[in-house]
Amino acid sequence: MKRALRVDWPACHARGVCHELLPEVVDLDEWGYPIVGGEVTPELLGLAREAVRMCPRLALRIVET
Amino acid sequence: MNSSPIAVCEDPDVHAGPALFSGLDSGPSLAAHREQYGDVPRISLADLTAAIDRTGLRGRGGAAFPFAIKLRAAADGSRRPVVVINLSEGEPASSKDSALARTRPHLVLDGAVATARALGAHAVHVVLPGDRPLTVAAMDAAIAERHDRRMRLVRHVASPRFVAGQARAVLELMAGRPNLPVTAWTPEAVAGHRSRPTLLSNAETWAHVGRLLHTGPPAGLGTDDEPGTTLLTLRLPGARVAVREVQYGASLRSVLPAKDDAAVLLGGFHGTWTTARAARRLKVSVPGFRESGLALGAGLVLAVDDCPVAWTQRIVAYLAGQSARRCGPCLNGLPALAAAVSAIDDGTGTARVEQLAGLVERRGACAHPDGTVRLVRSLLTAYPDEIDRHGAGHCSWTRQATVVRRLRSVAS
């Protein structure tokens, strides 16, 4: 089972914490909103969970794909 | 805010058709409906599922999602399901749901009520379009004619906004919150209204369910792969708006004007552009349109005898204003996309259009950004030469606009 990050778009206010914690997976667009690319590999899972926990808008989830 | 470049039409010409639109002459009353069809069909869930499987019914709200998958998901839940009829068609150019409400309201209601009974639901929610008073009045009149104590009909009126008819926005409305899309973590057929399995479908979908349960599978209509019929809203130059019931597999040639220089928008504002020449070669088919890179969507066929680039600029400006303004990529990206599509006339090219299309696509709670991108990309695909011509200050359709632009460039 693969894992990915999914954004709750109405909740996201472009604070950018996810990008700071997980630049391997999260880029930012020109307005500061996350561009989520690629899989959350087992090595990145810890950081991904941290990004979910630290999002000030609680706008991130890890979903199984 | 930009208003819709096409005004809503609630009073289209409705032509007699082979299934949903048969027996139109007797009017929309419950008495006439019962005379034609009899009582609400009683059917078990197993028989209903089998009947739906045989016809391969797809949703008619625009996404063409298989109805059987939603039905099974709603039936498989542990809680009592909820059934919703969605009449709040957001596409201003589409009139098929209005046509159904005004001519065949009880076929729509019978489909939903019979399904609700089979599922053990206690209520059918009817979601009406806030910007279509005649449609609301027609459904209200139909609801008032029905007296079934075991099946409540609960009406809601959606906001007059393009995205208000989106499934999650409808569930928000039913929950008493603002009628705007939110993120769906699970399909609404699994967990929707009050977390109950919610079978939400477009009015035309329910009318097909009603017809199927009353008269059986649509024998001799459509093709083996796509049995039955579908409703098209026809908007042709110089003609009244019409809603026509056509068989799957029918040629679009029969409904389109012969002029080869007409541009044709298929599906809706979230749909796709093509040329009249290409459109006339098409057969009405969900997968067939898809293979051609086109969308049958909500069934709009709009033929225009002026410039598709200018039309797209007006439509995208309108769609940008219709964003619920909740999702960042849509809130920021659609106005930027509208500006980039307008700037094609200034010779800026399409690189920025392509870039913004990639930035907004699949990055929102609802399909509004995706649909807008679909429209813009189809323009780039169908009219590359015309876009180049606009970039050079010309237009094949509007000599006047070219003159204006030349004068502007002389003045500056």
pLDDT (tens digit, 9 = 90+) per residue, A26-60? Answer: 999 999 999 998 889 999 999 999 999 999 999 99
Integer Cα distance of B295 and B7 in angstroms: 22
Q: Do B330 and A32 touch (CB under 8 A)?
A: no
Scanning A1-65, the segments in alpha helix (DSSP H) are: 17-21, 45-54
Q: Minimal CA–CA distance to A56: which of A15, A9, A7? A: A15
Which residue in B180, B324, B328 is closest to A14 by CB distance?
A: B328
Does B182 contact chain A (CB < 8 Å)? yes
pTM: 0.94
Look at residue B125 in the predicted model and tell me its pLDDT: 98
Look at residue B405 in the predicted model and tell me its pLDDT: 59
Neighbours of B27 (CB within 10 A): 10
Does B369 contact chain A (CB < 8 Å)? no
Which residue in B182, B332, B333 is closest to A10 by CB distance?
A: B182
- B398's CB contacts (< 8 A; 6+ apart) are B306, B307, B310
A-B contacts (CB, under 8 Å): 41
Query: What is the nearest CA distance from A43 to chain B, expressed in angstroms?
Result: 25
Calculate mean pLDDT across residues A3-25.
96
Give tens-digit pLDDT for B159-175.
999 999 999 999 999 99
Does B326 contact chain A (CB < 8 Å)? yes
Q: Do A29 and B329 touch (CB under 8 A)?
A: yes
Look at residue B397 in the predicted model and tell me its pLDDT: 87
- Residue A35, strand partner residues: A27
Does B380 contact chain A (CB < 8 Å)? no
Residue A59, SS3? coil
Look at residue B257 in the predicted model and tell me its pLDDT: 76
Residue A65, SS3? coil
Look at residue B258 in the predicted model and tell me its pLDDT: 73
Choose from B186, B332, B370 for mutation: most chain A CBs within 10 A.
B332
Query: What does pLDDT average to over chain B?
Result: 94
Does B184 contact chain A (CB < 8 Å)? no
Q: Do B185 and A30 touch (CB under 8 A)?
A: no
Amino acid present at B12: P
Look at residue B403 in the predicted model and tell me its pLDDT: 56
Q: Do A12 and B327 touch (CB under 8 A)?
A: yes
Residue of chain A whose alpha carbon sits nearest to that of B359: A29
Q: What are phi and psi of B145, to 5 degrees?
A: -75, -20
Q: Do A12 and B328 touch (CB under 8 A)?
A: yes
Look at residue B373 in the predicted model and tell me its pLDDT: 98
Look at residue B142 in the predicted model and tell me its pLDDT: 98
Integer Cα distance of B279 and B260 in angstroms: 10
Sole residue written with tokens 């941290």: A50
Neighbours of B400 (CB within 10 A): 9
Neighboring chain B residues of A10 at a CB cutoff of 8 Å: 180-183, 324, 326-327, 365
Neighboring chain B residues of A35 at a CB cutoff of 8 Å: 359, 363
* Pair type for strands B272-275 and B263-267: antiparallel
Neighboring chain B residues of A60 at a CB cutoff of 8 Å: none
Does B339 contact chain A (CB < 8 Å)? no
Integer Cα distance of B343 and A13 in angstroms: 29
- B244-B248-B253 Cα angle (round to 5): 65
Choose from A6, A18, A33 for mutation: most chain B CBs within 10 A.
A33
Neighboring chain B residues of A13 at a CB cutoff of 8 Å: 328
**Class of residue B114 by CB neighbours under 10 A (exposed 0-12, middle 13-18, buried 19+):** buried
Query: What is the nearest CA distance from B363 to chain A, expressed in angstroms?
Result: 7
Q: Do A33 and B363 touch (CB under 8 A)?
A: yes
Cα torsion B175, B181, B184, B190: sign: positive
DSSP state of A32: S
Report, as ranges of residue numbers, the positions in chain B whose pLDDT lies below 70. Answer: 1, 399-412
Neighbours of B141 (CB within 10 A): 15
- B133's CB contacts (< 8 A; 6+ apart) are B10
CA distances from B6 to B200, B225, B306, B313, B395 (A): 27, 34, 14, 13, 22
The helix/strand count (H/E) of chain A reads as 2, 4
ipTM above 0.85, yes or no: yes
Q: Do B327 and A10 touch (CB under 8 A)?
A: yes
Neighboring chain A residues of B326 at a CB cutoff of 8 Å: 9-10
Look at residue B325 in the predicted model and tell me its pLDDT: 95
Q: Output the six-digit token pair for A17.
A: 């914490």
Q: Do B328 and A8 touch (CB under 8 A)?
A: no
Residue of chain A whose alpha carbon sits nearest to that of B363: A9
CB B87 within 8 A of CB B135: yes
Q: Do A9 and B359 touch (CB under 8 A)?
A: no
